[in-house]
Every structure is written in C-alpha cells, then in structure tokens.
Amino acid sequence: MTQRPLLAAALAAALAAPVVIAAAQDATPGARSNGANHSEADAEAYEARLAERERGNSLIRADRLLDVRTGRWLENVEILVQDGRIVKIEHGAPGLKMIATDTKIIDLTGMSLVPGLIDMHVHLDSDPSYGGYTGLQFSDRFWSVLQVKHAGETLDAGFTTVRNVGADAFNDVGLRQAIDEGKIRGPRVVTAAYSFGATGGHCDSTFFPPSFDSKSPYNADSPEEGRKRVRELRKYGAQVIKICATGGVFSRNTEPGQQQLAEAEMRAIVEEAHQWGLKVAAHAHGASGINAALRAGVDTIEHASLIDDAGIALAKKSDSWLSMDIYNTDYTQAEGAKNGVLEDNLRKDREIAEVQRQGFRRAHAAGVRMVYGTDAGVYPHGQNGRQFAVMVRYGMTPLQAIQSATLNASQALGRDDVGVAEVGRWADLVAVKGDPTADAALLANVPVVIKGGDVVKDAR
C-alpha cells in the first residue's frame, strides 16, 4: 500500500499550521501548494525537513554573520543548533529558511554576529584593585572566590573562551571544572595552573624576606626540573604550560629585559610538553628571552614587549604566535598607584609601554602571526574588549583584530571547536549593532552573548 496519500495529507495539514516556518526557496520548482495535490518530491522534502527540525533545539536568526576565514559577511543568516553545537547555517535572500517547530527561536534581527571571542592571556583569580602588598589582608581562598565573579564578567564581555596562563593553588582548574559542570557561569577555560620559571624570577614569589621562606612550589632550575614540572602540572589539570623566560613588570627584583630561563631549559620544557600533547606559552619581555624561547619551540610568546628585528624574523619563520597585551597600560598608569602598586613596578610599566606598542606595529607589519591576549587581572575583568581599538590604532584593520581573537586564537590553541562559526563547532557567538569590521570598538561593549546556543547575556 502506498503512503503517498497519507504524506500528502500530513503536508497539507502542516502547511496550514501557523507554527511551521519554511523558506520559499525550499519548495519544489513548479509544484503548487494547494493543500491537496502535492508531488511525491514535496512529501519527501517535507519528511527530510521534519527530520532536520528534530535535530535542532535552537535557531538563531540575525541580519548577518561574519565568516572570519574570509572576512565576508553572510547576510540574512539562520544558525541551527543541537546540543550546543552548530549543525546547519543558511544565508542569502531575505526570508525564513528553516522550519522552527518545537525549536527555541533566538531572534537577533538588526544585529551582526561574530564568533565568540577568545582571550589568550587572562588571570581570573587576580584582581587589580589590590596591588603591591595590599592583597595580604585577605585569606588565601579570597582569590578562589573572586574568580567566580571574574569569570561571569569575562563571559558577559563576549569572551566565551579564555586561556588562563597562571593561577595560584590550581584555582583555574577548579573553576574550569565548575563551569563545565554547569554550576557557575563563565567562559570555556583552558588552564595552565601554576606558571613557573627560575628561582627568584618573575614566576617565583619575590616580595618577601628570607624569613618568610616564600617561594613557588614549581620553580625549575635545570632542564630536568623543567620536565618534571610539566609532568606534575599536567597531572593536576594543566592543559597548557606557562613559563617565565624573562623578568617582569609586576614582580619585585626583576627587570623585563632579563633572561631568566636558559634556552636549554626552555627546550626541555617544550619537548616534554609537546610529548604530552600540551602547548607552551612563554612570558617574555626582553629580546634575548624572546629569541631563546622562539628557538626552543615555544608556541606563544606573551607580551613580547622588547622584541627586536631578530625576534621578529624568528617569529615570522617559526610556528609561534605573539600575544601582545597593548591595552592594559592605560589602566595601570591611571589606577595603579591608587590600588597600591609599588612605584618601581609602575616605573617598569611606563618604560616598556610605548616600546611594546611600537613592537606590535612592526611585528604585525612584518607578517608575524598574532593572537589576542590582554593580561586581564592586571586591569579589571570584563574590559577585555577594549584592546581591539588599540590594536587598530597600532596597525591592524578591524577584521585582523577580530581574527586575532577568533580564528587565530583557535589555531594557536590547537582547537577546532571554537573561534569560527561553522558546522560542528560550539555555537558561541556575540551580537552587536553595526559593523565591527568597520569599527572594532563595538566589541568593547557587547550587548548579546551566546554560549553553546544559549543566550547568557541580553542587554539590548
């Protein structure tokens, strides 16, 4: 017995129901939808569309979506999401394109979509309100609690993925687990746990006298110690390894230009991490430390403040990325002293600020690969998007700045589930009014944030 009459009747009833939405372009050419005389092709097409509908539990509609691979806008876009991931994207002529029965509609008419943003350098358990010695008034677990607030602020800023490159007491690992379990709001967190380096270096505890015996439990002073630290940190939840190749700005008794890990030590750390499938980020301000880290095979150079022409040439030839935090000085110079930051730290911050920004300009002009990293925690969390405008001011186009925080960042992470809005990836998106490829500053104040197909912020 043929099922064609039953299918035709079902199709007629469905077409009469106002809750079913179908695109005119999906109709079979030449067929007339008169409710009684449908072709077998119509019936088969309808069945296929019903199956498609059942696979999607949310449907996002917006004026356009940025394809960060090509820089083109996809107009009149619809994105079908199932279990948090994109299963279909339709775009083109105005009009509805997919059936939406039993599907949650996220209507972003009048808005432009960009893939969820990625900040490659944050410290979620740090708070810039407490500089110098002022943080000593609090319990150790004060910072563990504050990071929950910071994670929510970061997500609300449109950063749906972050790389946390240094935390105390494995705070970031616990945070990631709580977010992944759905217990608290926050971005997807790639965790480094402790960052580490040489005894007395930037990643050590440097503010206390000998009687305190205050030191990092993960200092590494030889290639073999470096290998062991990689193994220990990976064991307890590190998903990326963060080392300090040079001195720093906000440590005591170190200078940014000082190299503090030998190239042989960094090479051993990189070899060990890569053996375990982990990437390595190196805090490196000074030229000699940057160049040694690049020769050692480090995956991302953090800060790169004093990069020289040799470093730019090495970076361009390598598979490494530069992550240059060129916004945060605006905050630290304005607010640091009030927050208790010591004058010596502010001096170092002043001395490298414009040098770093000019280095950014030169490295970008030379074609060095860049990712978006802000050092959030040195400035207030949730202001991550303010760096876009600074990157444009120092030589990037708005599209290039956006790509640094989406496509480039996902590649540097080695992940194919974030950073680009395409089938199979997480449905992480931000929506703004206007065109951020013309004005990247729009991304400093994102009104709508979607993570895994769910609206987590809507401030329209």
CB-based burial label for 271 (10 Å; 0-12, 13-18, 19+): middle
Cα–Cα distances in angstroms (integers) from residue 264 to residues 165, 204, 268, in the given order: 22, 20, 6
Which residues fall within 8 angstroms of residue 80, CB to CB, at 6 or more apart?
Answer: 52, 55, 56, 58, 59, 86, 87, 88, 89, 90, 98, 103
State residue 20's pLDDT score.
Answer: 31
**pLDDT, position 397:** 98
DSSP secondary structure, 137-162, as one string: GS-TTHHHHHHHHHHHHHHHTTEEEE
- Three-class SS state of 31: coil
Task: Kindly give the confidence (pLDDT) of every residue in the chain, 460 residues in length, as a single tens digit, with 9 standing for 90 and above.
Answer: 444 333 334 333 333 333 333 333 333 333 333 333 445 665 565 455 544 444 568 999 999 999 999 999 999 999 999 999 999 999 987 776 776 667 899 999 999 999 999 999 999 999 999 999 999 999 999 999 999 999 999 999 999 999 999 999 999 999 999 999 999 999 999 999 999 999 999 999 999 999 999 999 999 999 999 999 999 999 999 999 999 999 999 999 999 999 999 999 999 999 999 999 999 999 999 999 999 999 999 999 999 999 999 999 999 999 999 999 999 999 999 999 999 999 999 999 999 999 999 999 999 999 999 999 999 999 999 999 999 999 999 999 999 999 999 999 999 999 999 999 999 999 999 999 999 999 999 999 999 999 999 999 999 9
Which helix (H) or strand (E) element contains residue 120? strand 117-122
Taking each continuous run of H as one helix and of E as one strand, the counts in the chain are 13, 15
Token code pair at residue 164: 């946390």
Whether pTM > 0.85 for this model: the answer is yes
How far from 167 is each of 201, 203, 417, CA to CA, in Å?
Answer: 16, 11, 25
Residue 102: per-residue pLDDT: 75
